[in-house]
Amino acid sequence: MENIILEMRNITKTFPGVKALDNVNLKVKEGEIHALVGENGAGKSTLMNVLSGIYPYGSYEGEIIYQGELCKFSKIKDSEEKGIIIIHQELALVPYMSIAENMFLGNERGKPYAINWNDTYGYADELLKIVGLKESSRTLIKDIGIGKQQLVEIAKALSKKAKLLILDEPTSSLNESESKSLLDLLLSFKKEGMTSIIISHKLNEISYVADRITILRDGSTIETLDKSKDDISEERIIKGMVGRDMTVRFPKRDSLISNENVLEINDFTVHHPMTPERKVVDHVSLTLKKGEVVGIAGLMGAGRTELAMGLFGKAYGRNISGEVKINGKEVTLRKVKDAIENRLAYVTEDRKGNGLILSKSIAMNTTLSSLKKVSYKGVLDRDKEYEVASNYKEKLKTKCPTVWQNVGNLSGGNQQKVLLAKWMFANPDILILDEPTRGIDVGAKYEIYCIINELVAEGKSVILISSELPEILGMSDRIYVMCDGKMVGELGKEEATSETIMSLILKASNKGA
């Protein structure tokens, strides 16, 4: 008889105006890797928040049976004491504290009012070896990359004696090699008997690592697929997620590219804000034509975001130099306001940290970049604000009961649509999209690709930054490749492949080594 470590029965969770979970059922076997997939807003994260006690017993209907015991968690510490540890998509680490201090924050080693630092650092170093991190546990979090921070979170979970590890989009901010290493780590934990639940929109990773896959759609359980006997191809999973076959991942676009350059950048250089001697963007040049989608490919740390933010009114960096021309005219973009006035917009990769105000409404966030359009003599017109936000809600198919709902209550894909609406309302001629589909599902991705096509059909121009090569290849008319702050290649749509892009990156990396 199979050993079920977790069973969630008939879980129903309601928020004001929306039923997030509707009689959801989930069974997880001991020692397996169980994937939870579904479109944005399907209820995946909500279900795991119910399990971990973030949504306490009494705030939902249904039962949680863990290791044969009925559990009524009132807070996250209750579930952690049972060995249920959740690692959220937004990492909960303190940048100016050491790795060890973060790992044992709230779970300090020693006596009351007397931390045993030797034990703390010693045990932390042991756990870091297990997850394959070579850094000293005395290293500050701010001095390691996102991929290594993800490993710190896993080591932190191990310090809490995790029996059931829940990972919510663990690879959304990682490059391919970092993602592979993390997934292999989960497989090694599985060999040692640990049970894992993974939420991910990267279906190739799900197929690689998961034993069974439970699909949610619109807050309900659709089915559970077993790797040992069912088809778990990406096409099959997508069909369960969206309720139909999706044979086309990237919508077709008629080429309406003109010969005129709307943007020219020459010898653009950006220095690191904390270490001014370091160039994060090194004499980069590029062009963008009207009606064109230009992709910028590269590994994490290549300088793509730094280029975009430096261009967007010096939002990042210092000692910025170089020539910028918009519609053939040289412009000086000293601040973000200058960029907006020159019809340039930047959709940040960090929608929750820098793009949106989560505690404010969809309406407020939508009009934030162009308040003058919904104001009269400095007084905000609430009716006009509502009308604008409602129009974009319909146009972008944003799922929400009302535009007065707080953005923080939306799923990731719908938050991304609000962020796009914010900058579309500013009516830019040039739109820089930085990782526009990070952490969102295949259906929502397709909708955002359609929005990009609509924008260029209207004569707008788009710079697309993405770590997903299929996205760059599927959506771009022309592709630039960056490595170590430099532009190392330019490819036309016909000649661009994953292999040619990676070979340019590797060649530049070896040359710089």
Residue 246, pLDDT > 70, answer: no
Confidence class for position 512, pLDDT limits 50, 70, 90:
low
Query: pLDDT tens digit string along 326-367?
Result: 999 999 999 999 999 999 999 988 887 788 999 999 999 999
Q: Tens digit of pLDDT for each residue in 106-163?
A: 888 888 888 999 999 999 999 998 888 888 999 999 888 777 888 898 888 888 888 9
According to the model, what pLDDT value does residue 1 have? 46
Compute CA distances 209 → 26, 59, 144, 204, whole Å.
18, 33, 26, 9
Query: At residue 31, what are phi and psi to the nearest 5 degrees?
Result: 80, 10
Beta strands in 16-99 (DSSP E): 18-29, 33-37, 61-66, 69-71, 84-87
Residue 57 has pLDDT above 90, yes or no: yes
> What is residue 182's predicted lDDT score, i.e. its pLDDT?
84
Asked if 486 and 284 touch (Cβ cutoff 8 Å), the reply is yes
Cβ pair 451, 265 in contact under 8 A: no
Instruction: With cut-offs at 50, 70 and 90, classify the pLDDT of residue 301.
Output: confident
Q: pLDDT tens digit string along 69-120? A: 999 999 999 999 999 999 887 778 898 999 999 999 888 888 888 899 999 9
Instruction: Give the least confident one: 211-220, 238-247, 410-419, 436-445.
Output: 238-247
Portion of the chain with pLDDT greater than 70, in percent = 97
The pLDDT, as a whole number, for residue 142 is 86
Predicted local distance difference test score (pLDDT) of residue 247: 61
Longest dimension (CA), the chain: 74
Mean pLDDT of the region 5-11: 95
pLDDT of 439 above 80: no
E strands within 336-383? 344-347, 375-376, 379-380
CATH architecture of 4-242: 3-Layer(aba) Sandwich (3.40)
Q: CB-based contacts of 432: which residues, under 8 Å, 6+ apart?
A: 308, 311, 312, 344, 345, 346, 347, 462, 463, 465
Strands 110-111 and 114-115: antiparallel
Q: How many distinct helices (H) and strands (E) make up the chain?
A: 16, 24
Rounded to whole angstroms, the Cα distance separating 252 from 20 reads 33
Task: Average the pLDDT over 398-416 and give the result.
Answer: 87
Structural domain boundaries in the chain: 4-242, 248-343+429-513, 351-427
Q: What is the pLDDT of residue 469?
A: 84
Q: Does residue 473 surpass a pLDDT of 70? A: yes
Q: Classify domain 248-343+429-513 by CATH number.
A: 3.40.50.300
SS3 147: helix
Residues 207-224 have a mean pLDDT of: 92
State how far the alpha carbon of 336 is from the alpha carbons of 333, 341, 344, 417, in Å. 7, 9, 9, 21
Q: What percent of the chain has pLDDT over 90?
A: 54
For all residues of the chain together, what is the average pLDDT? Answer: 89
* Residue 32 contacts residue 214 (beta carbons within 8 Å): no
Instruction: State the DSSP code for 1.
Output: -
Given this model, what pLDDT does residue 157 score? 87
Q: What angle in degrees, to the nearest 10, is found between the helix axes of 146-159 and 117-130?
A: 110
Q: Which residues neighbour 137 within 8 Å (Cβ) at sequence distance 6 or greater? A: 98, 99, 100, 103, 120, 121, 124, 125, 128
pLDDT confidence of residue 195: 94
Q: Please state the φ and ψ torsions of residue 200, each to the nearest 5 degrees.
A: -155, 150
| Fold match flag (4-242 vs 248-343+429-513) | yes
DSSP tag of 408: G
